[in-house]
Structure 1
Amino acid sequence: MALRISHLTVDSHDAYAQSHWWSAALGWSEDPEDPNLPGHEECMIFAPDGRQRLLFIEVPEDKTVKNRLHLDLVPTDTSREAEVERLLGLGATQLADHRRPDGGGWVTLADPEGNELCVLRSELDRPDPYAHLVR
């Protein structure tokens, strides 16, 4: 038996606003045949190849504790520092700085609703340790 992850779902107060923030952060887009609209309780965005998806669903509860699951993001065509600054400019908040003098480490941010994410060292600055898994 084998399973594939269909998409990652994120609880949100404003699914539409979250879908737009994450679209700008990741360079992803909505389905043009099923656009996300203000007031939609469910808003999905897609990676450029359509294979990865994030679904934002509105829930009434506030986020009260640290996420049990978060995204680790790797810049593909710019530095970690440039991406952190770009995300802060989009409305992220910096929670912690775990960068090391050797260039390793990460920066922990929160999206506009407080969901944690980490920005790792850029692909330009390190070899991909998982390259052997790509087919």
Structure 2
Amino acid sequence: MTALISHTSFDCRDAYALSLFWAGILGFSPDADNPDGPGDEECMIFSPDGTQRLLFIEVPEPKQVKNRLHLDLVPAEGTRDQELARLLELEATVVDDRRMPDGTGWVVLADPEGNEFCILRSDAERARDHQRSV
């Protein structure tokens, strides 16, 4: 037997605002039959194919320390650095820049409530670098 992940949950102060932020980052959207709105204490967004879900749940306490679980993202199109620019336009903030001079590495970012996530190189960038080393 195995278990399947139903959804990933984020504790937050403003479920609606954070769900909109992540929907913009990931291209997810709310349930058209049960849309969320400002003031909702729980807001869920879905991947375009409906297989991935993120749930944002309001809690009274603020974030205290580095989160123990985070998302590692790769660009669907373009490069890591192009995607980084887009994420910053959506109001993500840089926590730690771990990019190396040879192009490897990643950038640690935070969403508007301080939840950390990373942007990695795209599959195409990694494949190109692998071909150079062969």
> TM-score with structure 2 length normalisation?
0.92
Q: CA deviation at 1:88?
A: 0.8
Query: Is 1:86 aligned to 2:86, yes or no?
Result: yes
Unmatched 5+ stretches in structure 2? 128-134
Unmatched 5+ stretches in structure 1? 128-135
> TM-score with structure 1 length normalisation?
0.91
Q: CA deviation at 1:76?
A: 1.7
Large movers: runs of 4+ above 3 Å: none
Amino acid at match of 1:4: L
Q: How does 1:58-69 map to 2 (within 5 A)?
A: 58-69=58-69
| Count of residue pairs the alignment pairs up | 127
The 3-state SS of whatever aligns with 1:95 is strand
Q: How does 1:1-135 map to 2 (within 5 A)?
A: 1-127=1-127
Aligned Cα root-mean-square deviation (Å)? 0.8
Percentage of pairs with the same residue: 61
The 3-state SS of whatever aligns with 2:67 is coil
1:57-104: per-residue Cα shift (whole Å, max 9, x none)? Answer: 000000010001000001121111111111111111101111122222
Amino acid at match of 1:117: F
Amino acid at match of 2:60: P
Q: Distance in 1 between matches of 2:55 and 2:3?
A: 19
The 3-state SS of whatever aligns with 2:6 is coil
